[in-house]
């Protein structure tokens, strides 16, 4: 993958921009951190060169002045909403992130449950669990008319009803396990309640996407729409910025809709608002650090196709409605691409047609496409992985790295003792066997050494992968898509 982004420049520029915004307000700044603060794989895929931990490294530059608040939507706890890129529920993701931040010496002040409604068992159990672990829990309530009734929202019956979150540092980062968690409302509620306590507090927004200084239909911005089709987010020209400055910038609908609330609140507190537009609120420097636009465009287009396949498979599993598939198809058409622009798709489907059974394709860093078929012992995902490792190591494909005498006992254990109805070995089972063989077989060891080269490679399956195979491909860093078909008409995968 061609690099199209200067990561070091970004960390330096972004840290400086945040410091400038803190100085602008005085006592305290509430910074809404959009996107993933940790493990931002979406950003690293669409902006090659952006590292998944870039934002946390940037925050570490400011850690002595910062503390972190997590926001999680009560409804997401009830629905057991999943963060798809790492396949973990939002409530568990909050716990994982708290551990990760504490490990790096960052102060976590607490968790706020937004749109909290009393009496829901899952929410109450989550709050109780946090409190038993010594984590402070705060509750913010639904506000009638939000965000279209600013006068009521900015009152004791609106933001004033929420729990006040005790903070001690000048920079308060409000983040969440995923989008739509209510971070903006948490920040605004805190600014209002700080004012009531005599503290001058400001607000700013650090939202990685959409990128305000890229065109509306730039593939990076379209990829953001594709990633948030479940939220009905839509990129749009910021009308307030255009009116104030005569400059066209990109924002998204929820920020534009919420801007009157912010304006009203600051006017109420200070006599005038410090911002003339949603774009003014932002501190995002990502657009200034792109070094190869062609590379970024190509990477973003691939992400759009991946998001289409994700929506199609989620519909097949009954997790989303057909409307999300239509939206994903429409975004592909706006980007001027189809699934044919993803080379591994045609390769996997061709291999399936040749063998009459499920197949998998992996595109290597040098552009070669390696396939795997359904075998007598291993599945197509495991077979493609093994073939790719051989190709990277320069090992003849006809050489057996794992003797059947090793694989057969694993298969017997799986079927006869673990009760599995699938006799084919998954990717993890194959890799365990290969790693054992590598202890005495130098050729197998050479194949194992190729695993890091698979990170960032593209892959496609002619059927939906099992959870085990999906997990392995994700952990190895492959960007995997699947046809929305089930293997051999299985219902449970």
Give the model's pLDDT for residue 423: 79
What is the number of other CB atoms lying within 10 angstroms of the CB of residue 419? 7
Mean pLDDT over the full length of the chain: 92
What's 425's DSSP letter? Answer: B
End-to-end CA distance of the chain: 31
- pLDDT surpasses 80 at 200: yes
**Residue 28 burial (10 A CB sphere; 0-12, 13-18, 19+):** buried
Does residue 432 carry a pLDDT above 60?
yes
- pLDDT for residue 234 is more than 60: yes
The model's pLDDT over 83-134, given as tens digits with 9 standing for 90+, comes to: 877 779 999 999 999 999 999 999 999 999 999 988 889 999 999 999 999 9
pLDDT of residue 488: 59
Greatest C-alpha distance within the chain: 79
According to DSSP, the residues that pair with 111 across neighbouring strands are 70, 137
Q: DSSP for 3-62, please give it.
A: --B-HHHHHHHHHHHHHHHHHHHSSEEEEEE-S-SS--HHHHHHSBTB-TTHHHHHHHTT
In the chain, what are the domains?
Answer: 7-291 (3.10.630.10), 346-489 (3.40.140.40)
Q: Any idea what DSSP says for residue 415?
A: I
Please tell me which residue, 406 or 352, carries the higher pLDDT value.
352
Contact yes or no for 40/56 (Cβ under 8 A): no
Whose CA is closest to 97, among 140, 127, 135?
A: 135
Q: Which residue has the higher pLDDT, 350 or 59?
A: 350
Burial of 17 (C-beta count, 10 Å sphere; 0-12/13-18/19+): middle
Nearest residue to 327 via CA among 232, 186, 244:
232
DSSP state of 271: S
- Is residue 221 predicted with pLDDT exceeding 90? yes
CA 251 – CA 275 distance, rounded (Å)? 15
Q: What is the pLDDT of residue 490?
A: 59
Is the Cβ–Cβ distance between 342 and 458 less than 8 Å? yes
- pTM score: 0.88
CA distance 50 to 36: 13
Q: Are 457 and 363 in contact (CB under 8 A)?
A: yes
pLDDT band with cut points at 50, 70 and 90 for residue 203: very high
- Please report how the helices 380-393 and 467-476 are oriented relative to each other, as an axis angle in degrees rounded to 10: 20
Indicate whether 411 pLDDT > 80.
yes
159: left (phi over 0), alpha (psi -120 to 50) or beta: alpha
Contact of 3 with 295, CB cutoff 8 Å: yes
């Amino acid at each position: 993958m061609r690099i199209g982004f200067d990561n070091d420049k970004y960390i330096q520029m972004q840290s400086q921009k945040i410091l400038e915004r803190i100085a602008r307000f005085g006592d305290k700044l509430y910074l809404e951190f959009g996107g993933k603060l940790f493990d931002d794989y979406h950003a690293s895929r669409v902006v090659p060169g952006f590292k998944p931990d870039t934002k946390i490294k940037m925050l570490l530059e400011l850690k002595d002045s910062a503390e972190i608040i997590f926001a999680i939507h009560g409804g997401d706890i009830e629905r057991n909403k999943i963060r798809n890129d790492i396949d973990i529920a939002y409530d568990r993701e909050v716990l994982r992130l708290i551990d990760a931040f504490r490990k790096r010496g960052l102060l976590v002040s607490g968790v706020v449950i937004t749109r909290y409604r009393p009496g829901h068992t899952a929410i109450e159990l989550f709050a109780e669990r946090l409190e038993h672990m010594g984590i402070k829990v705060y509750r913010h309530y639904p506000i009638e008319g939000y965000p279209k009734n600013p006068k009521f929202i900015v009152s004791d019956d609106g933001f004033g009803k929420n729990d006040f979150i005790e903070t001690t540092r000048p920079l308060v980062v409000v983040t969440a396990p995923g989008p739509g968690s209510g971070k903006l409302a948490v920040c605004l509620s805190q600014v209002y309640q700080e004012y009531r306590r005599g503290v001058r507090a400001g607000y700013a927004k650090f939202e990685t996407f959409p990128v305000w200084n890229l065109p509306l239909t730039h593939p990076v911005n379209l990829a953001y729409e594709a990633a948030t089709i479940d939220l009905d987010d839509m990129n749009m020209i910021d009308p307030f910025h255009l009116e104030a400055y005569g400059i066209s910038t990109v924002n998204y609908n929820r920020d534009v809709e919420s801007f009157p609330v912010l304006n009203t609140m600051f006017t109420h507190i200070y006599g005038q608002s410090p911002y003339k537009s949603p774009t003014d609120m932002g501190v995002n420097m990502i657009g200034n650090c792109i070094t190869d636009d062609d590379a970024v465009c190509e990477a973003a287009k691939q992400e759009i196709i991946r998001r289409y396949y994700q929506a199609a498979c989620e519909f097949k599993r009954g997790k989303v409605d057909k409307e999300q598939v239509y939206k994903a198809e429409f975004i592909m058409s706006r980007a001027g691409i189809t699934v044919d622009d993803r080379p591994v798709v045609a390769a996997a489907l061709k291999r399936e047609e040749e063998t009459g059974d499920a197949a998998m394709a992996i595109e290597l860093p040098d552009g070669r496409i390696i396939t795997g078929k359904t075998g007598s012992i291993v599945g197509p995902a495991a077979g493609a992985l093994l073939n790719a490792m051989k190709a990277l190591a320069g090992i003849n494909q006809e050489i057996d790295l794992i003797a059947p005498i090793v694989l057969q006992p694993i298969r017997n254990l799986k079927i006869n003792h673990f009760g599995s109805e699938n006799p084919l070995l998954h990717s993890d089972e194959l890799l365990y066997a290969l790693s054992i063989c590598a202890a005495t077989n130098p050729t197998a060891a050479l194949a194992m050494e190729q695993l890091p080269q698979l990170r960032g490679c593209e892959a496609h399956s002619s059927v939906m992968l099992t959870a085990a195979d999906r997990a392995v491909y994700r952990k190895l860093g492959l960007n995997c898509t699947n046809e929305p078909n089930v293997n051999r008409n299985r219902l449970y995968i």
